[in-house]
Amino acid sequence: MTAWPAHPDVTHFSFLGSEDQLACPCCLCFTPTPKALDLLRIVEDLRVWWRAPIVLTSMTRCPEHNVEVDGKARSSHLITLAASRSGVDLVPSLQSPQIPARSLIPLAIERLAVRALRTPGVTGIGIYDDYLHLDNRPPKNSGRHYLWEDRTTFAQVDFLRRLRDYERNQ
């Protein structure tokens, strides 16, 4: 097993001995490409701003594991695309001072999504019921983000449209 090389910019997440899934869970593949490190720096900045734990539930996937978890064909989690992009799924703790006490996970995910939208280097944001997906795939020519939502249990009120408004008004 390869250890994640200690990096002064990434102190809250580690390859070994933590719940963070930087490597593929089935084969432990992981390559510390510049894109992967860039994304981890971004997540580190979000973690510092959040002032509460954030758990990375999926980062690298081999093609077989990506199929197993119904990942998209060109998912930014794929190790085969690691030279050009990296993707991560994360679950924020509800103990953050950035959300009101007793908030539920959908609100925490929305708060983090808005913050991520304003963070340089993030180009893809996916909103799910119980986690947030972020990636740094090559940007669109328009400079706009890849934004999508796949929520089933939370009656969202035009959250994607709100994100687009934030994007326009940056």
Footprint of Zn ion (CB under 5 A): 24, 26-27, 62, 65, 87, 89, 133
* Burial class of residue 6, CB neighbours in 10 A (0-12, 13-18, 19+): exposed
Q: Which is nearer to Zn ion, 78 or 99 (CB)?
A: 78
Q: Which is nearer to Zn ion, 146 or 166 (CB)?
A: 146
Q: At its nearest, how many Å lie between Zn ion and the CB of residue 155?
A: 23
Token code pair at residue 153 = 């249990």
C-alpha to C-alpha distance for 46 and 40, rounded to whole angstroms = 10
Q: Which is nearer to Zn ion, 50 or 89 (CB)?
A: 89
Q: Which is nearer to Zn ion, 11 or 148 (CB)?
A: 148
Q: Which is nearer to Zn ion, 49 or 146 (CB)?
A: 146
Q: At its nearest, how many Å lie between Zn ion and the CB of residue 148?
A: 11
Angle, CA of 38, 40 and 45, to the nearest 5°: 100
In the sheet that 87-92 helps form, which strands lie side by side, from edge to edge?
Answer: 54-58, 87-92, 132-135, 124-128, 146-150
Q: At its nearest, how many Å lie between Zn ion and the CB of residue 24?
A: 3
Q: At its nearest, how many Å lie between Zn ion and the CB of residue 60?
A: 8
Q: Which residue, among 135, 157, 130, has the nearest Cα to 146 in the 3D structure?
A: 135
Q: At its nearest, how many Å lie between Zn ion and the CB of residue 102?
A: 27
H/E element holding 6?
none
